[in-house]
Chains A and B, each alone.
Chain A
């Protein structure tokens, strides 16, 4: 049964009517019109839907909307703007990382969280943090360069 649910996304409060078990992804995309997190698998296997929940990278496709009440949601364009991109975004642009770019939420949001926790990660730490995120175009080597570049800022 649909119910009223309050969400805090990119610093703004919203109230939606939704089935409590509906994944957060659909609330963000369809109810709030925030298209950054994207459906990739619905199984938390790829990362295309990644958002930060209180700073922790989370797969919104497999997170019931009812379970995040009271938590702060941050999406891709909540971390930086065209005028003031996040350093991870700036590095991804500098390295011209994406091809199709559909996967970017996973790489960027997870890298942002990694650099918060580990500002100067080594190659192994980056690979470990980003394990499991999918990119079908094969931009992995460019992603590695970009995260290393961002870590130097």
Chain B
């Protein structure tokens, strides 16, 4: 496979011509330009985002990427809407570093929220320009023109018409946009045109646009990152130390000399092998005799993790969230409710350990990556190889899931180092123990929640204190070598970002203080417990604590959990969600645990809610807890979801389902295990995730559409309340209040004994 050829075909079919002229007399000047004139990409240029093919179809060029949730269909619908084109005549080029500007890649659920906003503005401006061009060409004032399926015609005389293809097909817009001077997620552009009013929408907000990657995936005709083959490519495997922090001090190359074509690459702490055949590279990586430095085992025992967090010196305090006089509230409280919640390290655990391919030669590099951020990948590789960034091209490929900064960002850097060392293209794929053992982890945390209640049972103050490992020991992208395993092993000076974050909610207690403190990593470099973003960074942790605590607080003042939230939330959108979800789930008001036993299982319902970046989600979980085994079945979820304007409701539902199943897995099963030397949960047995046997029977979703509001993110919001809803349902079923995740059968069994 050669993605370059594919992409060139796409551009060739876009009809990029080789001469450059300017159409006369047109305000929206349309220049005929070459592909070369597209580069360097300028964020303030309309042609950077929108081009029209000769047949009048459109290509959207976006520096973000869909990871399998249909985000691209969202962009397609938004662009088609503004351009008055059918969705099947709009396509997207996503993420590649050399043909799109850096719009942050997949990141922070900003695909539609921010990327979509920019593309919508660009498409609206393109339509305005096209109508102006048509006005010139037809000699008809723009306000007398209408656009139907990419054809501009006279409202009074529909026979007078011209198509987008005739107007500009195969040539590039030469039009400036207003750009906010930001690169990355927050990049925003706008033109003079105002996007359509929601009342005019034909496709936005409507279901039925199928994803384009689904059939090729199901039929096995699409190429994944792992399928990339470059002529002359060698296969590489990395070798990780048995004790985290150890580095190779001796390598016996003779120990693999019986394996054909093996080469060892050893640079500072980084060690890998390459071979022409993949199986030979694997064998060599396992057979190579290595002497490791005598590193002191860096980790505390697993059972001491939370004690370690509690006692560790604070390195940095996040900015505090505060209003009202919390201290006075606690001083005057008739009752104080307090509880502590704990969350373990968790792994991205993608279906495949990461894969990357690099072809480094002649002062240039092409890398193929399944990471969500190809632009940063190109920057990081350029820095590592000491190449100008414009000499590095990062090609975005379909990875094995992503869910944040997973190990893909490491694999591509490993491949780049190996390729440069051996002078040939190299494909690196991890083995399973690396996928689980050495991917960056979501941070473990401890949360103390306290509430002051007055003599009338009213909550007058709330304090929420998080103490945790940073969620960014390594940055949320691989834009610099120190944020990758290879860079850390090769002694790049570390630049950790100390940040954990606060829960996002609208509880309207009279006084609130939220603090968040981060502690030092357990090992400061090349650590299998280094942290990075995992879907909804910090969200499951904090919202498990907050939402469990709100139920504990409701119980302390003898109130039903749903009523407690309706009374204490202040954003009307949040209250509407709680009411909607309670009605749909048939919520029966109750105070405290009902412990309803039905045959062999206790049944219960629990409610939770959370907000994220403007999106808000309420959820009721219904569980069955086996009285003998302690196993929890998350039987049913009812979810109310409000992400502002809805673009593609059917795909939104599937996204929400996926989030809920994945976050259920994290709540019920997932915990990274480690001993003093390294991570010990290194496969699917030692790091179990949700199984088909445990999948919910149903996930009922209520979508609340606000067409009048901008869309906000949907990629992570529904990840947030799940653990709290489950913990609260388990409490209702069994009377056991679990304050530590995951909610394993062992913990339930111990509680029920």
Name A residues whose Cβ lies closer than 8 Å to a Cβ of B.
18-19, 22-23, 26, 29-30, 35-36, 38-43, 45-46, 48, 75-77, 80-82, 85, 89, 92-93, 96-105, 108, 123, 126-128, 130-144
* Closest chain A residue to B1, Cβ basis: A35
Most chain A CB neighbours (cut-off 10 Å) among B349, B657, B690: B657
Contact present for B401 and A136 (CB under 8 Å) = yes
CA distance A75 to B221 in the complex (A): 12
A-B contact pairs, 21 of them (CB 8 A): A30-B278, A38-B226, A38-B352, A39-B353, A41-B435, A42-B431, A85-B219, A93-B215, A99-B67, A101-B217, A101-B218, A102-B352, A104-B217, A127-B693, A130-B692, A136-B349, A136-B400, A136-B662, A141-B695, A142-B654, A144-B695
Contact present for B693 and A131 (CB under 8 Å) = yes
Contact present for A93 and B214 (CB under 8 Å) = yes
Shortest CB–CB separation between residue A73 and chain B, in angstroms?
A: 14
CA distance A123 to B693 in the complex (A): 10
B613 proximal to A (CB < 8 A):
no
Q: Which of B206-225 contact A (CB under 8 A)?
A: 210-211, 213-215, 217-224
B699 proximal to A (CB < 8 A):
yes
- Please name all residues of chain B whose beta carbon is closer than 8 Å to the beta carbon of A99 when the two chains form the complex: 67-69, 401, 654, 658
CA distance A123 to B699 in the complex (A): 16
Shortest CB–CB separation between residue A82 and chain B, in angstroms?
A: 5
- Please name all residues of chain A whose beta carbon is closer than 8 Å to the beta carbon of B211 when the two chains form the complex: 96
- Please name all residues of chain A whose beta carbon is closer than 8 Å to the beta carbon of B432 when the two chains form the complex: 40-43, 45
* Closest chain B residue to A134, Cβ basis: B684
- Please name all residues of chain A whose beta carbon is closer than 8 Å to the beta carbon of B690 when the two chains form the complex: 138, 140
CA distance A29 to B279 in the complex (A): 11
- Please name all residues of chain A whose beta carbon is closer than 8 Å to the beta carbon of B278 when the two chains form the complex: 26, 29-30
- Please name all residues of chain A whose beta carbon is closer than 8 Å to the beta carbon of B659 when the two chains form the complex: 138
Contact present for B691 and A40 (CB under 8 Å) = no
Contact present for A135 and B67 (CB under 8 Å) = no
* Contact with B219, one of A89, A123, A130, A142 (Cβ below 8 angstroms): A89
CA distance A135 to B665 in the complex (A): 11
* Closest chain B residue to A101, Cβ basis: B217
Contact present for A141 and B661 (CB under 8 Å) = yes
Contact present for B279 and A19 (CB under 8 Å) = yes
* Closest chain B residue to A65, Cβ basis: B279
Contact present for B691 and A132 (CB under 8 Å) = yes
* Closest chain A residue to B406, Cβ basis: A136
Contact present for A100 and B279 (CB under 8 Å) = no
Shortest CB–CB separation between residue A140 and chain B, in angstroms?
A: 4
Contact present for B661 and A138 (CB under 8 Å) = yes
A100-B402 in contact given A40-B352, A93-B214, A127-B692 (Cβ < 8 Å):
yes
- Please name all residues of chain A whose beta carbon is closer than 8 Å to the beta carbon of B692 when the two chains form the complex: 126-127, 130-133, 140, 143-144
Contact present for B220 and A77 (CB under 8 Å) = yes
Shortest CB–CB separation between residue A90 and chain B, in angstroms?
A: 9
Contact present for B691 and A131 (CB under 8 Å) = yes
* Closest chain B residue to A27, Cβ basis: B279
Shortest CB–CB separation between residue B123 and chain A, in angstroms?
A: 25
Shortest CB–CB separation between residue B357 and chain A, in angstroms?
A: 14
B183 proximal to A (CB < 8 A):
no
CA distance A131 to B693 in the complex (A): 6
Given contacts A99-B67, A137-B68, 12 further A-B contacts (CB under 8 A): A26-B278, A26-B279, A35-B226, A38-B400, A39-B226, A39-B352, A43-B684, A45-B685, A100-B67, A108-B218, A137-B662, A141-B698
Shortest CB–CB separation between residue A35 and chain B, in angstroms?
A: 4
State how many residues of chain B have any CB contact under 8 Å with chain A: 63
- Please name all residues of chain B whose beta carbon is closer than 8 Å to the beta carbon of A139 when the two chains form the complex: 654, 657-658, 661
Q: Which of B388-443 contact A (CB under 8 A)?
A: 398-403, 429, 431-432, 435
- Please name all residues of chain B whose beta carbon is closer than 8 Å to the beta carbon of A43 when the two chains form the complex: 432, 683-684
Count of inter-chain pairs, beta carbons less than 8 A: 178
Contact present for A96 and B651 (CB under 8 Å) = yes
* Contact with A102, one of B210, B277, B400, B697 (Cβ below 8 angstroms): B400
CA distance A26 to B429 in the complex (A): 13
B689 proximal to A (CB < 8 A):
yes
Contact present for B223 and A40 (CB under 8 Å) = no
Give the 3 A-B residue pairs with the shortest CB-CB distance, closest first.
Answer: A138-B661, A99-B68, A101-B217
B205 proximal to A (CB < 8 A):
no
- Please name all residues of chain B whose beta carbon is closer than 8 Å to the beta carbon of A19 when the two chains form the complex: 279, 283
Contact present for B219 and A96 (CB under 8 Å) = no
A136-B350 in contact given A98-B214, A100-B67, A131-B693 (Cβ < 8 Å):
yes
Shortest CB–CB separation between residue A48 and chain B, in angstroms?
A: 6
Contact present for B219 and A82 (CB under 8 Å) = yes
Contact present for B279 and A22 (CB under 8 Å) = yes
Contact present for B657 and A82 (CB under 8 Å) = no
- Please name all residues of chain B whose beta carbon is closer than 8 Å to the beta carbon of A26 when the two chains form the complex: 277-279
Contact present for A98 and B683 (CB under 8 Å) = no
- Please name all residues of chain B whose beta carbon is closer than 8 Å to the beta carbon of A36 when the two chains form the complex: 220
A85-B401 in contact given A26-B278, A99-B67 (Cβ < 8 Å):
no
Most chain B CB neighbours (cut-off 10 Å) among A123, A135, A136: A136
Shortest CB–CB separation between residue A83 and chain B, in angstroms?
A: 10
* Closest chain A residue to B431, Cβ basis: A42
* Closest chain B residue to A132, Cβ basis: B691
* Closest chain B residue to A26, Cβ basis: B279
- Please name all residues of chain A whose beta carbon is closer than 8 Å to the beta carbon of B398 when the two chains form the complex: 100-101
- Please name all residues of chain A whose beta carbon is closer than 8 Å to the beta carbon of B697 when the two chains form the complex: 123
Shortest CB–CB separation between residue B386 and chain A, in angstroms?
A: 32
CA distance A26 to B8 in the complex (A): 30
Most chain A CB neighbours (cut-off 10 Å) among B67, B352, B399, B665: B352
- Please name all residues of chain A whose beta carbon is closer than 8 Å to the beta carbon of B657 when the two chains form the complex: 138-139, 141-142
Contact present for B662 and A82 (CB under 8 Å) = no
B600 proximal to A (CB < 8 A):
no
B696 proximal to A (CB < 8 A):
yes
Shortest CB–CB separation between residue A115 and chain B, in angstroms?
A: 15
Contact present for A136 and B689 (CB under 8 Å) = yes
Interface string of B19-62 (1 = CB under 8 A from A): 00000000000000000000000000000000000000000000
CA distance A40 to B651 in the complex (A): 26
CA distance A101 to B459 in the complex (A): 47
- Please name all residues of chain B whose beta carbon is closer than 8 Å to the beta carbon of A133 when the two chains form the complex: 692
* Closest chain A residue to B651, Cβ basis: A96
Shortest CB–CB separation between residue A27 and chain B, in angstroms?
A: 9
B660 proximal to A (CB < 8 A):
yes
- Please name all residues of chain A whose beta carbon is closer than 8 Å to the beta carbon of B219 when the two chains form the complex: 76-77, 80-82, 85, 89, 93
Contact present for B214 and A138 (CB under 8 Å) = no
CA distance A117 to B398 in the complex (A): 34
CA distance A29 to B685 in the complex (A): 26
- Please name all residues of chain B whose beta carbon is closer than 8 Å to the beta carbon of A39 when the two chains form the complex: 226, 352-353, 429
Contact present for A136 and B351 (CB under 8 Å) = yes
A35-B218 in contact given A18-B279, A100-B401, A130-B692 (Cβ < 8 Å):
no
Shortest CB–CB separation between residue B2 and chain A, in angstroms?
A: 14
B746 proximal to A (CB < 8 A):
no
Contact present for B684 and A35 (CB under 8 Å) = no
- Please name all residues of chain B whose beta carbon is closer than 8 Å to the beta carbon of A127 when the two chains form the complex: 692-693, 695
- Please name all residues of chain A whose beta carbon is closer than 8 Å to the beta carbon of B400 when the two chains form the complex: 38, 40, 48, 100, 102, 136
B227 proximal to A (CB < 8 A):
yes
* Contact with B224, one of A42, A102, A123, A143 (Cβ below 8 angstroms): A102
Shortest CB–CB separation between residue A93 and chain B, in angstroms?
A: 5
Most chain A CB neighbours (cut-off 10 Å) among B210, B220, B226, B659: B220
* Contact with A93, one of B218, B351, B402, B661 (Cβ below 8 angstroms): B218
CA distance A135 to B350 in the complex (A): 9
- Please name all residues of chain A whose beta carbon is closer than 8 Å to the beta carbon of B693 when the two chains form the complex: 127-128, 131
* Contact with A30, one of B217, B277, B402, B660 (Cβ below 8 angstroms): B277
CA distance A34 to B168 in the complex (A): 41
* Closest chain B residue to A2, Cβ basis: B260
CA distance A17 to B398 in the complex (A): 30
CA distance A112 to B664 in the complex (A): 28
Contact present for B215 and A82 (CB under 8 Å) = yes
Most chain A CB neighbours (cut-off 10 Å) among B398, B431, B658, B685: B658
Contact present for B351 and A97 (CB under 8 Å) = no
Q: Which of B339-379 contact A (CB under 8 A)?
A: 349-353
